[in-house]
Amino acid sequence: MKTEIYNVKKIGTEEYTRAIDRGAELLRAGELVAFPTETVYGLGGNGLDADACRKIYEAKGRPSDNPLILHVADFEGLKKIVSRVTETAEKIFAAFMPGPITVILPRAKCVPDAVTGGLDTVAVRMPDNQVARDLILAAGIPVAAPSANISGRPSPTNGETVSRDLAGRIGAILDGGATDWGIESTIVDCTEAEGRDTVTILRPGAITGEMLQEIIGVVKTAAPKNTAEKEASLKRAPMAPGMKYTHYAPKAPMTLVTDGETMARELRRRKIAGEQVGLLLFAEDYPEYEVDYKCSLGSRSDIREIAAGLYDNLRYFDELPVDSLLCPVVPDEGLGAAVVNRLRKAAGGRLL
């Protein structure tokens, strides 16, 4: 398959309009189109067409019980794909949509099992990105769109990365340049019984628990508290993307380290063992390490910068002759909770 690539960086031009119209045409025909959102690039297909959704799983190599998120352009589109909107969800919509947040609600009958993994719920979001909304409106359908990458790899935050992963596998790529946040949306479960002002964060993101706490009575997290809970969670079908399988991983195995002393000690040990080690470092620590392969995550005081560049930094080492990677743990507060979540999954739980 030849993948068509369109530049949509100049919104409102004739070139832009033609690209949006072509992308919408492909989506209606059951083909796949990658497009930018404010978080990462999405791999879009017709969210009401089970065959198109199956193509998404095939293109990504994604497990079919891992649900997809349906993207809509407005609230009218959202109401068509859910059977009920809870009071709590309405508060979230008013405060944060359009924006980097996904809400789990009871599904409407029109939503196929291929989107939900067979669950009675559906994940929905309204992206805060002009290209994404224009594409969805032009297509006239909800667009199912996980991240536009090979399953398990770091998500793409620019069109070039999408092309490296998916060129030849999908119909088109709309290249809108770099995304804003650089990590996927927050996912919250709003299916609690009516009248209970409670949500559960299934995946942290730019809309933080602290932000949700300001408008919701109780904010919980779905992270397993012990080994038994973790084993039980692996046996259940995931309610949302990123809950069950290894995600965001670079090619070389990565280990997180808690402090500089541990980093230096582990680096020495691996060098003695003959390993070629790549280091991800805070900008403040970058000059201290004399190694062949290293990159800067950004300042430890600027978590927004770290989040925006995280996946590009993880992919940086993929073409380098490194045997393993070491990366510091970032502060686990606010947006940092989302970065830590991605790093832990990318490291497969390896922590020193």
Tens-place pLDDT, residues 171-187: 999 999 999 999 999 99
Residue 297 structural domain: 254-346
Decide if 253 contacts 244 (C-beta within 8 A): no
231 has a pLDDT exceeding 50: no
Over residues 99-104, the mean pLDDT reads 97
| CATH code: domain of residue 120 | 3.90.870.10
Over residues 93-120, the mean pLDDT reads 95
pLDDT of 227:
45
195 has a pLDDT exceeding 70: no
226 located within any domain: no
pLDDT of 242:
55
206 located within any domain: no
Q: How many CA atoms lie within 13 A of 131 on its CB side?
A: 33
Residue that is last in its domain, among 125, 145, 175 = 175
322 has a pLDDT exceeding 70: yes
Same domain, 29 and 169: yes
93 located within any domain: yes
pTM to 2 decimal places: 0.91
Same domain, 31 and 148: yes
Residue type, 227: T
Outline where the chain has alpha helix (H). Answer: 14-28, 50-60, 75-79, 87-96, 113-116, 130-139, 159-166, 209-213, 227-235, 260-272, 303-316, 336-346
Same domain, 19 and 137: yes
167 located within any domain: yes
Residue that is last in its domain, among 157, 175, 193 = 175
244 located within any domain: no
How many percent of the chain have pLDDT more than 70?
92
42 located within any domain: yes
Structure tokens at 24: 């919408």
Q: Parallel, antiparallel, or unpaired for β 101-106 and 218-221?
A: unpaired
216 located within any domain: no
| CATH code: domain of residue 304 | 3.40.50.11030
Q: Say which range, 63-72, 85-94, 202-211, 266-275, has the weakest mean pLDDT.
A: 63-72
Alpha-carbon span 54 to 73, nearest angstrom: 23
Radius of gyration, CA atoms only, the chain: 20
Same domain, 276 and 151: no
Q: Say which range, 219-233, 236-250, 315-329, has the weakest mean pLDDT.
A: 219-233
Question: Distances from the Cα of 54 to the Cαs of 23, 51, 162, in angstroms?
Answer: 19, 5, 19
Residue that is last in its domain, among 155, 175, 195 = 175
pLDDT of 346:
94
Q: Say which range, 110-124, 139-153, 237-251, has the weakest mean pLDDT.
A: 237-251
Residue 233 — very low, low, confident or very high, per pLDDT cuts 50/70/90? very low
Same domain, 270 and 164: no
Average of per-residue pLDDT values in the chain: 91
pLDDT of 27:
98
More confident residue, 333 or 31: 31
Q: Which segments within 8-100 are labelled E, that is strand? A: 33-35, 42-46, 69-71
pLDDT of 218:
86
Other CB atoms within 10 Å distance of the CB of residue 268:
11
Chain CA centroid to CA 205, Å: 9
225 located within any domain: no
Same domain, 169 and 39: yes
Domain count of the fold of the chain: 2
Structure tokens at 345: 């999954």
Same domain, 26 and 167: yes
